[in-house]
Structure 1
Amino acid sequence: MKTVRQNWNYEESLDNTLTTLSSNLSRWNKKVFGHVGKMKRRLINRIGGIQRAQENGKNHFLEKLERQLHKELADILDREEILWLQKSRKKWITQRDRNTRYYHTRTIIYKRKNKILKLRNNEGTWVEDQEELALAINFFTHLYQEQGDTTQLQSSRSYPMIQEDVKWNVDVMPTMERLKMLSLGLGSSKHLGWMAS
């Protein structure tokens, strides 16, 4: 939420603000979370190097560093678990074990199911020939794409500006007293949101 607040510009158009926000959120994601697989491999290699170095003799500094790296690795494994949970689109497993192979398999199965294997043509017959399917898929994939330079989406509508006193309270939860006052103020010809005409 903090990143969104910092990057939201009330002076710019909605289209420009969303474009800027999107690129800033992508940068934030890479900076905060990074690439889980690379970080995991790097930590495992560092721990392995420390363990090989300690075969020659114990070193207090290396033992402390190894404990710290194991904590970081546990955090990375948790992130990896969440990543695969999100990718697999399945419910959280109650045991919450680090069975990332399961989630990886579920994602691969989902991707296989999400393929177009046959289409019905204008005559009503099913077409399974991969070359014909590829032509149809290619046609619909590129149907609504612009040719040449892409330009910013320009909206012909103008959006009303949010009033200053309301702008900063958008994410504030209403109090019970305010809700009670609003609900008691409803008449028989009114409902929440808009007045009946």
Structure 2
Amino acid sequence: MWLSDKSCTETVEVVWASQDRLNPQTRVVRKIEQCGREMKGWSRKHFGNVRRELYLKRRQLGEAKSEAQLCDNNSRVRALKEEINDLMDKETRMWLQRSKTLWASHGVIDSKYFHNKATQRYRKNSITNIRSSVGRWCSNYEEVAETLVNY
């Protein structure tokens, strides 16, 4: 999803082009960390919460349609429709990536189906409870982590 935005590549290139006086091994680690921080900020700025933005744009579109009927000017309506289409495209790519279905590009896209697949995968990959070596069930994060480390 990020790669669809040209400024993503530019952000990464700026981080990797920066010069510092560390040894090569430390430099790579620092650049990876810095790149992660920059990309997190970049994502908030350029993508934000796609679903919330889509909801807000749809509300604005309703208001703009009402104004367009009174003023006879559709330029704002067209601009909002374009923004909504871009946001829907981003949302679709996000759910396709989360569902990890490679064959999705060959079939009909049903967003409810992909949402369910992504949610199912998240639940399947989550460890909420685990039985320790003494047979006791651990459910809070620290106990689960300690049980895994001790194993």
TM norm. shorter chain > 0.5: yes
Cα separation, 1, equivalents of 2:70 and 2:117: 43
* 2:10 alignment counterpart: 2
1:30, 1:117 → 2: CA distance?
Answer: 29
Once the 2 structures are TM-superposed, how far is the Cα of residue 85 of structure 1 from its aligned partner? 0.7
- CA distance, structure 2, for counterparts of residue 117 and residue 26 of structure 1: 27
Structure 1 counterpart of 2:5: none
The residue that corresponds to 2:117 in the other structure is 106
119 and 45 in structure 1: CA distance in 2 versus 1, 3 angstrom threshold: closer
Offset at residue 18 of structure 1 (A)? 2.2
Given that residues 81 and 100 in structure 1 are in contact (C-alpha distance below 8 angstroms), is that contact kept between their aligned partners in structure 2? yes
Alpha-carbon spacing, 1:96–1:70, altered in 2? closer, same or farther (3 Å): farther
Unaligned runs of 5+ in 1: 145-197
Give the number of equivalent residue pairs: 133
Residue in 2 that maps onto 1:60 = 72
- Contact 2:129–2:139 (Cα < 8 Å) also in 1: no
Does residue 19 (structure 1) correspond to residue 24 (structure 2)? The answer is: no
Aligned to 2:138, the other structure's residue is in SS state helix
Pair 1:139 & 2:146 matched = yes
- Give the conservation status (yes or no) of the 8 Å contact 1:87–1:107: yes
Structure possessing the higher radius of gyration over alpha carbons: 1
CA distance in 2, matches of 1:121, 1:80: 40
For the aligned residue pairs, the C-alpha RMSD in angstroms reads 2.9
What residue in structure 1 maps to residue 106 of structure 2? 94
How far did 1:109 drift?
1.2
Alignment of 1:45 with 2:45, yes or no, is: no
Q: Give the TM-score normalised by the residue count of structure 2.
A: 0.70
Structure 2 stretches lacking a partner, 5+ long: 1-8
Structure 1 distance, partners of 2:113, 2:122, is: 14
Which digits, 9 at most, give the CA deviation of each residue in 1:47-90, with x for residues without a partner? 11123345xx44332x1211111111011000000000111111
Q: TM-score, normalised by structure 1?
A: 0.56
The structure richer in helix per residue is 2
Which 4+ stretches in 1 moved above 3 angstroms?
115-123
